[in-house]
C-alpha cells in the first residue's frame, strides 16, 4: 500500500466539496482549552544535518553483552526475516482497510494466527495486539465480559511491568485486583484457593513466571474453573518449544509478548502482543481476526471475519477499542517460526534451556552467589547476591555486560536478587567472561 501525499490544490478541492473553509474548521468541536495552538518544534533541518545528528546519538549506545531478560530476550534473528518483512507489499502496521484486496497480507495474518494457536495449544488467535502487557489487559477485560464479574486475582509472578500496565489501563474502571504472593518462587495454590470468590472473573498467571520458575498450572486452572472463573496465562513463546502449552493446562485465554519471535529488542518496541482463546469465547475476544474461506468459484480466499465485534460496526459497544494490530511484527513472527519449523523451534528452546543450566552451574561456583533452586527454570533464573543487585548491574555495565534485571526494582525486599536470562546467542565464552566479571565486581 502506497502513501501518496495530497497537494494544496487537492486539499482546497476537498474542502470546497464538503463546504468547509479551512482544515482548522474541522477541529472546531474541540474545546479551546484542549486544542493545541502550536507545537514547540525547532525549525526543520536538512537531511544531511539530521543524518549527522542521529549518527552522533547512535554512538552513545553502549554495546553490551545481554544477560537481561524480564520478558524481552536477545534472540538471533535470521536475515530472511528482515528481507521478507521489508517487502513493500507488507509495509503497514495495520490490517488493510479494504481487506479482501490484500490477500497476501490476510494470508500472512491467518498463518500467524494458526502458528500462535499451535504454540499455545489454543483454538483461535487474533491478528495481534500492541505488546504482551496490552494483551494481558485485554485478556482481563475479556474475562470480565465473559463472566460478568469484576474481581481479578493476579499472581505476583506475572511480569510486574504488565501488572503496572493493567493497573494503569483500568485505573478509571471498577475492577478489584488482588495480588497473590508467590510461595517459594511459584504460584501459591493455597492463597489462590482462599482468594477465589464467586465474584472472581479471572486468575492471571504466567509461565515461566517472572523469577524464571517453570510450573504446571493445570491444578490452579482447575481450581479457578470450579469457581466459574477463567484462567489467563501469559506465556513466553520460545519456552513453548519445550514446555507444556497453557492450552494443555486448560487455560481459557493465553497471551504473551511475541518480541522473541524475530523482533529486535529496539530499546522497547515496537513489540507484538499475542492472544489466543477457546472457540466458544471468540466473540468476546478483541482484535482483528483473519479467516480462510472459499469464494463463489470455490477458490480459497482470506477475509477479516467476525468484524461485528469491532468498533467500526459496534461503535461504543465494541469488545475493545483496538482494531489495529502489529501486522508487521506479526509477519516477522510467522516468518521466523516458518524458518525454524517445528524441529528447529524445539531445538532453539532446548539450546536456551541447556545453556541456562550451564550458566547456573558456572555462576553457582562464585563465592557469595546463590542460584535459587526452589523450582525448575527454562532460560531465566534468579541469583541471590551478597549486596544490592542494582549496584552490581551498574558496575557490570563498565565490564561490558547487561547483567540482568535487579528484582528490587519491583519486589521490595528482593534488593539482593538478580534475574539472569540466557538465550541461544550466549556462548560458553561469554558466560565464562560474565562469571569472571561478576566475581570481580562483588
Closest CB to other proteins among 309 and 360? 309
Q: What is the rounded CA–CA span in Å between residue 378 and residue 237?
A: 12
Closest alpha carbon to 415 in 382, 438, 440, 439: 382
Closest CB to other proteins among 291 and 408? 291
- Region 37-76 residues binding other proteins, contact defined as CB under 8 A: none
Q: What is the rounded CA–CA span in Å between residue 119 and residue 336?
A: 13
As measured in angstroms, the least distance from the Cβ of 172 to other proteins is 22
Closest CB to other proteins among 184 and 314? 314
Closest CB to other proteins among 55 and 317? 317
Q: What is the rounded CA–CA span in Å between residue 210 and residue 416?
A: 16
Closest CB to other proteins among 53 and 312? 312
**Burial of 242 from C-beta contacts in 10 A (0-12 / 13-18 / 19+):** middle
Q: What is the rounded CA–CA span in Å between residue 326 and residue 435?
A: 38
Q: Does 313 bind other proteins (CB under 8 A)?
A: yes
Find the binder of other proteins among 11, 53, 300, 314 (CB under 8 A): 314
Q: What is the rounded CA–CA span in Å between residue 303 and residue 353?
A: 39
Closest CB to other proteins among 146 and 238? 146
Closest CB to other proteins among 54 and 313? 313
Q: How far apart are the first and last CA of the chain?
A: 55
Q: What is the rounded CA–CA span in Å between residue 52 and residue 315?
A: 46
Closest CB to other proteins among 283 and 373? 283
As measured in angstroms, the least distance from the Cβ of 120 to other proteins is 25
As measured in angstroms, the least distance from the Cβ of 308 to other proteins is 4
Cell of 27: 477541529
Closest alpha carbon to 102 in 134, 127, 75: 127
As measured in angstroms, the least distance from the Cβ of 229 to other proteins is 17
What pairing do the DSSP bridges indicate for beta strands 151-155 and 200-207?
parallel
Angle at which helices 428-441 and 389-398 pack, to 10 degrees? Answer: 120
Find the binder of other proteins among 20, 26, 54, 308 (CB under 8 A): 308
Closest CB to other proteins among 146 and 366? 146
* Part in contact with other proteins (CB under 8 A); list of ranges 225-233, 305-313, 328-336, 339-347: 305-313
Q: What is the rounded CA–CA span in Å between residue 107 and residue 90?
A: 11
As measured in angstroms, the least distance from the Cβ of 104 to other proteins is 24
- Region 109-138 residues binding other proteins, contact defined as CB under 8 A: none
Q: Which sign, positive or negative, has the C-alpha torsion 177, 122, 217, 407?
A: negative
Q: How many helices (H) and strands (E) does the chain have?
A: 12, 15
Q: Does 312 bind other proteins (CB under 8 A)?
A: no
# of chain residues touching other proteins (CB under 8 A): 6
Q: Does 283 bind other proteins (CB under 8 A)?
A: yes
Closest CB to other proteins among 6 and 150? 150
Q: Prior bond to 73 cis, omega within 30?
A: no
* Part in contact with other proteins (CB under 8 A); list of ranges 151-159, 170-178, 245-253, 310-318: 310-318
Compute how many other C-beta atoms are within 10 angstroms of the C-beta atom of residue 387: 13
What pairing do the DSSP bridges indicate for beta strands 405-406 and 417-421?
antiparallel
As measured in angstroms, the least distance from the Cβ of 296 to other proteins is 15
As measured in angstroms, the least distance from the Cβ of 98 to other proteins is 17
As measured in angstroms, the least distance from the Cβ of 317 to other proteins is 7
Q: Are 352 and 378 in contact (CB under 8 A)?
A: yes
As measured in angstroms, the least distance from the Cβ of 336 to other proteins is 35
As measured in angstroms, the least distance from the Cβ of 320 to other proteins is 14
As measured in angstroms, the least distance from the Cβ of 309 to other proteins is 8
Closest CB to other proteins among 23 and 308? 308
Q: What is the rounded CA–CA span in Å between residue 46 and residue 380?
A: 46
Rg of the chain (C-alpha set): 24
Per-residue binding letters, 139-178, with other proteins (x by CB under 8 A)? ----------------------------------------
Q: Does 317 bind other proteins (CB under 8 A)?
A: yes
Q: How are strands ordered across the β-sheet holding 417-421?
A: 370-371, 380-384, 417-421, 405-406
Q: Does 83 bind other proteins (CB under 8 A)?
A: no
Question: What's the length of the chain?
Answer: 442
Q: Does 80 bind other proteins (CB under 8 A)?
A: no
Binding site for other proteins (CB under 8 A): 283, 308-309, 313-314, 317
Amino acid at each position: 500500500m502506497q502513501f501518496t501525499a495530497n497537494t494544496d490544490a487537492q486539499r482546497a478541492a476537498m474542502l470546497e466539496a464538503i463546504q468547509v473553509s479551512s482544515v482548522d474548521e474541522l477541529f472546531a468541536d474541540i474545546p479551546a482549552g484542549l486544542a493545541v495552538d502550536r507545537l514547540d518544534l525547532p525549525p526543520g533541518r536538512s537531511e544531511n544535518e539530521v543524518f549527522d545528528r542521529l549518527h552522533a546519538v547512535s554512538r552513545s549506545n553502549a554495546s553490551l553483552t545481554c544477560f537481561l531478560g524480564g520478558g524481552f530476550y536477545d534472540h538471533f534473528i535470521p536475515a530472511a526475516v528482515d528481507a521478507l518483512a521489508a517487502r513493500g507489499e507488507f509495509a503497514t502496521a495495520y490490517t488493510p482497510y479494504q481487506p479482501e484486496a490484500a490477500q497476501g497480507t490476510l494470508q500472512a495474518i491467518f498463518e500467524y494466527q494458526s502458528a500462535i494457536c499451535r504454540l499455545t495449544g489454543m483454538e483461535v488467535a487474533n491478528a495481534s495486539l500492541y505488546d504482551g502487557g496490552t494483551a494481558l489487559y485485554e485478556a482481563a477485560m475479556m474475562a470480565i465480559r465473559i463472566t460478568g464479574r469484576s474481581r481479578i486475582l493476579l499472581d505476583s509472578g506475572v511480569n510486574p511491568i504488565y501488572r503496572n500496565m493493567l493497573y494503569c489501563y483500568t485505573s478509571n474502571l471498577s475492577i478489584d485486583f488482588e495480588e497473590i504472593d508467590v510461595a517459594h518462587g511459584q504460584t501459591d495454590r493455597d492463597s489462590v484457593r482462599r482468594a477465589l470468590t464467586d465474584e472472581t472473573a479471572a486468575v492471571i498467571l504466567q509461565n515461566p513466571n517472572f523469577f524464571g520458575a517453570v510450573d504446571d498450572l493445570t491444578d490452579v486452572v482447575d481450581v479457578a474453573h470450579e469457581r466459574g472463573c477463567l484462567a489467563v496465562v501469559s506465556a513466553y513463546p520460545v519456552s513453548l518449544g519445550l514446555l507444556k502449552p497453557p492450552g494443555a493446562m486448560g487455560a481459557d485465554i493465553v497471551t504473551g509478548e511475541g518480541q522473541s519471535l524475530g523482533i529486535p529488542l529496539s530499546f522497547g518496541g515496537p513489540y507484538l502482543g499475542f492472544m489466543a482463546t477457546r472457540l466458544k469465547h471468540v466473540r468476546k475476544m478483541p482484535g482483528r481476526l483473519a479467516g480462510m474461506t472459499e469464494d463463489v468459484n470455490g477458490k480459497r480466499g482470506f477475509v477479516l471475519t467476525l468484524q461485528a465485534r469491532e468498533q467500526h460496526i459496534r461503535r461504543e459497544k465494541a469488545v475493545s477499542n483496538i482494531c489495529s494490530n502489529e501486522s508487521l511484527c506479526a509477519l516477522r513472527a510467522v516468518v521466523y517460526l516458518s524458518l525454524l519449523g517445528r524441529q528447529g523451534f524445539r531445538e532453539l528452546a532446548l539450546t536456551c534451556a541447556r545453556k541456562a543450566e550451564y550458566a547456573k552451574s558456572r555462576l553457582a561456583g562464585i563465592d557469595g552467589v546463590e542460584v535459587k533452586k526452589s523450582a525448575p527454570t527454562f532460560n531465566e533464573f534468579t541469583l541471590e547476591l551478597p549486596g544490592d543487585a542494582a549496584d552490581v548491574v551498574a558496575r557490570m555495565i563498565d565490564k561490558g555486560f547487561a547483567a540482568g534485571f535487579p528484582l528490587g526494582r519491583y519486589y521490595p525486599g528482593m534488593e539482593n536478587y538478580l534475574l539472569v536470562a540466557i538465550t541461544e546467542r550466549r556462548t560458553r565464552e561469554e558466560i565464562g567472561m560474565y562469571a569472571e566479571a561478576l566475581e570481580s565486581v562483588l
